C-alpha cells in the first residue's frame, strides 16, 4: 500500500477518438470534458489542434466553459526541423489553443527517427530539446510523450535514454513512457521503468496500449515501480485494441493499491461516467466490464447466491456501491431457492417463509429454461411469472385468433398485415394493422386493439428486438427465442417468448410486454389508493 499521489491524464477526446467506429462532435467532446472535470480527472487532453478543424473548434469553444478541477491539454508532435521551431505549424497550433498544458510526442526509437523523419541521433535530440524548451519558455507546462519508448529501449537503450534526457533538459514537467504498439510484457515494463527512474529526475508517466491485453496491468505495474502520472481513456477506447482503461485503473489505484490522486475522485460516479461516454460514442456498454459492467456483480449459480446473501464478500471483490454499480441476482436453470427469494424481494414480494412456493417456482423456472426460455435477460417476464404463481396477476386480455400475411416480390416490394381477435373483460375486439414486417404489424395491431380499453398502451414503443436460434441443427425448423425491449419513454423492460414459430415467439414477448406495463400501472393505482 502506498500514500503516493498519482496524476490522472485522460486522452479519451484525442487518442480515444482514433478507435474504429468512434466519432464525436464538438458538442460531444465538450460534454465529456465537463463530465471528466466533475469526476476529478487532473488533465484532459482535448485533441490535436493542428490536425483537423474539429479539434481547432473544440479548443476555441472550450475557452467558454469553466472547468472546476481539470486542466485542458492540447496535443501535437515536436517540430519537424530542429532549427525551425518558431515557424512550425504544429507548435504554433499548440500556442494558439491557449491551454495551460501541452503534450508533445517525439521519437525515442532510433528506427523511427532515422527512417521516419530522416534525422540523425544528434538532430533528433536537438529537435526534442528545442521543441520542449520553446513551449516552456512561452509559459506552457509540457508533458513529453516518448513515442515507442519500450520498443526503442529494447532496440537501442542508449538512444532512447538520450532522448528522454533531451526532454528533461528542455524543461518537460512530465516524461511519459509510451508502449505505443502495446506489445510489452509487464515484467519488461517494470525493469525498464526502474532503469529510467535511476537516470531521469523528472516525474515519469506511463501510456500503454492494449494489443496484448495488458494495458491496465502494465499501467499499474509502472505506477507500482515509481511512475506518478498515468494516461488512459474512459472504457479503454482507442486505436486498434484500445488504450489503457482508466475505468479499471482508477479503482485499482484507490481501492486496491492505496494511492491517492491530486484531486478527489467521485468514485461512486464511475459506472455512470462509463455509461455516459459509451452513450455519446453510440457504443453498446460492455456488460462484462470490470467494476462497471452490468454483469460485474451479477450472480447466477444458486450456491453463489446463497453465499452472497449471507456475506457478499464471498463472491464479490468489493462493495459495488463504491463504484456506483449494483449487485444483481439472475434467474436461470442454475438457480436455487436463494435466487428466487432474492428476485422476489427485489419485486416487493416476500416469500422468505414459503419454502414450498420457492421449490415449486424453482422447478417451474428450470423447466421453462430447459425449453429455451431465458430470464436473466427478460426480468419483466419473470416478474409476471412470479406474480402469476402468487395469484397476484392474470392477463389483461386473451388471444382468440391471430393471422399474419406477408407478401413480397422480385421488385423488392413487401407488405405485412396482421389480423387479431382478442377478448377484454368479455368484449371482443377484431383489428387489422399493417407494418414494416410481421412483428411490427402484430405490435401495431395489438396496441390498436387495446387502446380503447387501455389508453396507456399508446405510449409503449418497441426499442429492441433480438432473435436467437436454439438447436441450430434443426435448421429452419429450429426453436427460436425472442427477446424484446420496450419503453414508455421513462423506463425500459425486457420480455421473452419461445417457439418453433418465430411469429408466435414474438407474440408471446409482445403480450408479456403489454401485460407488464398494464400490471405496473394497476399496481401503482392500488398503492395510491391505499
For residue 60, give the CATH number of its domain.
3.20.20.70
Number of domains in the chain: 3
> So what's the pLDDT on residue 481?
87
Same domain as 405, residue 332: no
> So what's the pLDDT on residue 124?
95
Q: Among the three residues 222, 248, 280, which one is the final residue of a domain in this structure?
A: 280
Same domain as 304, residue 259: no
Same domain as 193, residue 111: yes
> So what's the pLDDT on residue 136?
98
> So what's the pLDDT on residue 469?
84
Same domain as 402, residue 320: no
pLDDT top residue among 314 and 74: 74
Residue 39, pLDDT above cutoff 70: yes
> So what's the pLDDT on residue 492?
87
Q: Which residues of 326-354 are buried (b: 16+ CB within 10 A; e: fewer)?
A: ebbbbbbebbbbbbbbbbbeeeebebeeb
Are β-strands 414-424 and 398-408 bridged in parallel, bridged antiparallel, or unpaired? antiparallel
Same domain as 454, residue 426: yes
pLDDT top residue among 257 and 372: 257
Same domain as 103, residue 208: yes
Q: Among the three residues 280, 310, 327, which one is the final residue of a domain in this structure?
A: 280
Is residue 110, in this structure, part of any structural domain at all? yes
Same domain as 67, residue 205: yes
Are β-strands 480-487 and 492-499 bridged in parallel, bridged antiparallel, or unpaired? antiparallel
Same domain as 338, residue 410: no
User: CA-CA distances (angstroms) from residue 71 to 6, 16, 29, 340, 419?
Assistant: 15, 18, 15, 49, 61
Residue 332, pLDDT above cutoff 50: no
Give the angle subtended at the CA of 303 by the CAs of 298 and 306, to the nearest 5°.
75
Is residue 18, in this structure, part of any structural domain at all? yes
Taking the C-alpha atoms of residue 382 and residue 365, their distance in angstroms, rounded to an integer, is 9
Residue 57, pLDDT above cutoff 80: yes
Is residue 39, in this structure, part of any structural domain at all? yes
pLDDT top residue among 102 and 458: 102
pLDDT over 70, % of the chain: 85
Question: Domain limits at 417?
Answer: 398-529
Are β-strands 141-147 and 260-261 bridged in parallel, bridged antiparallel, or unpaired? unpaired
Is residue 505, in this structure, part of any structural domain at all? yes
Write the CATH number for 480: 3.30.160.270
408 SS3 class: strand
Residue 478, pLDDT above cutoff 70: yes
Q: Which range is least confidently modeled, 112-121, 166-175, 178-187, 353-362?
A: 353-362
> So what's the pLDDT on residue 49?
93
**Burial label, 53 (beta-carbon count in 10 A; 0-12, 13-18, 19+):** exposed
User: CA-CA distances (angstroms) from residue 456 to 42, 359, 384, 451, 519?
Assistant: 48, 36, 19, 7, 11
Residue 366, pLDDT above cutoff 80: no
Q: What is the mean pLDDT of the chain?
A: 88
Residue 282, pLDDT above cutoff 90: no
> So what's the pLDDT on residue 333?
44
Q: Which range is least confidently modeled, 194-203, 411-420, 505-514?
A: 411-420
> So what's the pLDDT on residue 7?
98
Q: Taking residues 465-488, what's their average pLDDT?
A: 80
Same domain as 302, residue 262: no
Residue 1, pLDDT above cutoff 70: no
Taking the C-alpha atoms of residue 369 and residue 316, their distance in angstroms, rounded to an integer, is 26
Is residue 267, in this structure, part of any structural domain at all? yes
pLDDT top residue among 511 and 330: 511
At 417, give phi and psi (nearest 5°): -135, 130
Roughly how many angstroms between the first and final C-alpha of the chain, as a whole number?
54
> So what's the pLDDT on residue 365?
66
> So what's the pLDDT on residue 429?
93
Q: Taking residues 309-328, what's their average pLDDT?
A: 76
**Burial label, 103 (beta-carbon count in 10 A; 0-12, 13-18, 19+):** buried
Same domain as 274, residue 309: no
Q: Among the three residues 230, 253, 280, which one is the final residue of a domain in this structure?
A: 280
Q: Which range is least confidently modeled, 173-187, 264-278, 284-298, 372-386?
A: 372-386
> So what's the pLDDT on residue 341?
63
> So what's the pLDDT on residue 329?
62
Q: Which range is least confidently modeled, 169-173, 452-456, 464-468, 496-500?
A: 464-468
Q: Which range is least confidently modeled, 199-203, 221-225, 455-459?
A: 455-459
At 487, give phi and psi (nearest 5°): -145, 150
Is residue 175, in this structure, part of any structural domain at all? yes
Task: State the pTM of this model.
Answer: 0.70
Q: Taking residues 437-458, what's their average pLDDT?
A: 92
Is residue 79, in this structure, part of any structural domain at all? yes
Residue 303, pLDDT above cutoff 60: no
Amino acid at each position: 500500500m502506498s500514500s503516493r499521489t498519482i496524476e490522472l491524464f485522460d486522452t479519451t477526446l484525442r487518442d480515444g477518438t482514433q478507435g474504429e467506429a468512434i466519432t464525436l462532435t464538438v458538442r460531444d467532446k465538450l460534454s465529456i470534458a465537463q463530465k471528466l472535470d466533475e469526476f476529478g480527472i487532473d488533465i484532459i487532453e482535448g485533441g490535436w489542434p493542428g490536425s483537423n478543424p474539429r479539434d481547432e473548434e473544440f479548443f476555441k469553444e472550450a475557452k467558454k466553459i469553466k472547468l472546476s478541477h481539470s486542466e485542458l491539454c492540447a496535443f501535437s508532435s515536436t517540430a519537424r526541423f530542429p532549427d525551425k521551431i518558431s515557424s512550425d505549424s504544429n507548435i504554433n497550433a499548440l500556442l494558439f489553443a491557449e491551454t495551460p498544458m501541452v503534450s508533445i510526442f517525439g521519437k525515442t526509437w532510433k528506427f523511427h527517427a532515422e527512417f521516419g523523419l530522416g534525422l540523425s541521433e544528434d538532430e533528433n535530440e536537438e529537435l526534442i530539446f528545442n521543441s520542449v524548451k520553446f513551449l516552456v519558455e512561452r509559459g506552457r507546462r509540457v508533458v513529453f510523450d516518448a513515442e515507442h519508448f519500450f520498443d526503442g529501449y529494447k532496440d537501442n537503450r542508449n538512444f532512447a535514454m538520450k532522448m528522454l534526457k533531451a526532454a528533461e533538459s528542455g524543461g518537460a514537467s512530465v516524461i511519459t513512457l509510451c508502449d505505443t504498439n502495446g506489445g510489452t510484457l509487464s515484467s519488461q515494463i517494470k525493469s525498464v521503468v526502474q532503469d529510467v527512474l535511476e537516470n531521469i529526475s523528472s516525474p515519469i508517466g506511463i501510456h500503454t496500449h492494449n494489443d496484448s491485453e495488458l494495458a491496465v496491468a502494465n499501467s499499474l505495474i509502472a505506477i507500482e515501480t515509481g511512475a506518478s502520472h498515468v494516461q488512459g481513456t474512459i472504457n479503454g477506447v482507442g486505436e486498434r485494441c484500445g488504450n489503457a482503461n482508466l475505468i479499471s485503473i482508477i479503482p485499482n489505484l484507490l481501492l486496491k493499491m492505496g494511492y491517492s490522486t491530486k484531486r478527489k475522485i467521485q468514485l461512486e460516479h464511475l459506472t455512470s461516467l462509463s455509461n455516459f461516454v459509451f452513450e455519446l460514442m453510440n457504443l453498446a456498454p460492455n456488460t462484462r466490464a470490470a467494476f462497471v459492467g452490468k454483469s460485474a456483480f451479477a450472480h447466477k449459480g444458486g450456491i453463489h447466491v446463497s453465499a452472497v446473501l449471507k456475506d457478499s464478500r464471498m463472491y464479490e471483490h468489493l462493495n459495488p456501491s463504491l463504484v456506483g454499480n449494483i449487485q444483481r441476482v439472475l434467474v436461470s436453470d442454475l438457480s436455487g431457492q436463494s435466487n428466487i427469494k432474492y428476485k422476489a424481494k427485489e419485486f416487493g414480494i416476500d416469500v422468505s417463509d414459503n419454502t414450498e412456493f420457492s421449490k415449486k417456482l424453482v422447478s417451474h423456472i428450470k423447466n421453462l429454461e430447459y425449453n429455451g426460455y431465458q430470464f436473466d435477460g427478460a426480468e419483466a417476464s419473470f416478474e409476471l411469472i412470479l406474480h402469476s404463481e402468487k395469484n397476484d396477476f392474470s392477463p389483461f386480455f386473451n388471444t382468440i385468433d391471430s393471422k399474419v400475411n406477408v407478401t413480397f416480390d422480385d421488385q423488392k416490394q413487401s407488405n405485412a398485415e396482421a389480423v387479431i381477435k382478442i377478448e377484454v373483460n368479455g368484449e371482443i375486439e377484431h383489428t387489422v394493422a399493417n407494418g414494416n414486417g410481421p412483428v411490427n404489424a402484430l405490435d401495431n395491431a395489438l396496441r390498436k386493439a387495446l387502446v380503447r380499453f387501455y389508453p396507456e398502451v399508446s405510449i409503449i414503443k418497441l426499442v429492441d428486438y433480438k432473435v436467437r436460434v436454439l438447436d441450430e441443427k434443426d435448421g429452419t425448423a429450429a426453436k427460436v427465442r425472442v427477446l424484446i425491449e420496450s419503453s414508455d419513454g421513462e423506463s425500459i423492460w425486457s420480455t421473452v417468448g419461445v417457439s418453433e414459430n418465430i411469429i408466435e415467439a414474438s407474440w408471446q414477448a409482445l403480450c408479456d410486454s403489454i401485460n407488464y406495463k398494464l400490471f405496473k400501472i394497476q399496481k401503482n393505482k392500488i398503492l395510491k389508493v391505499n
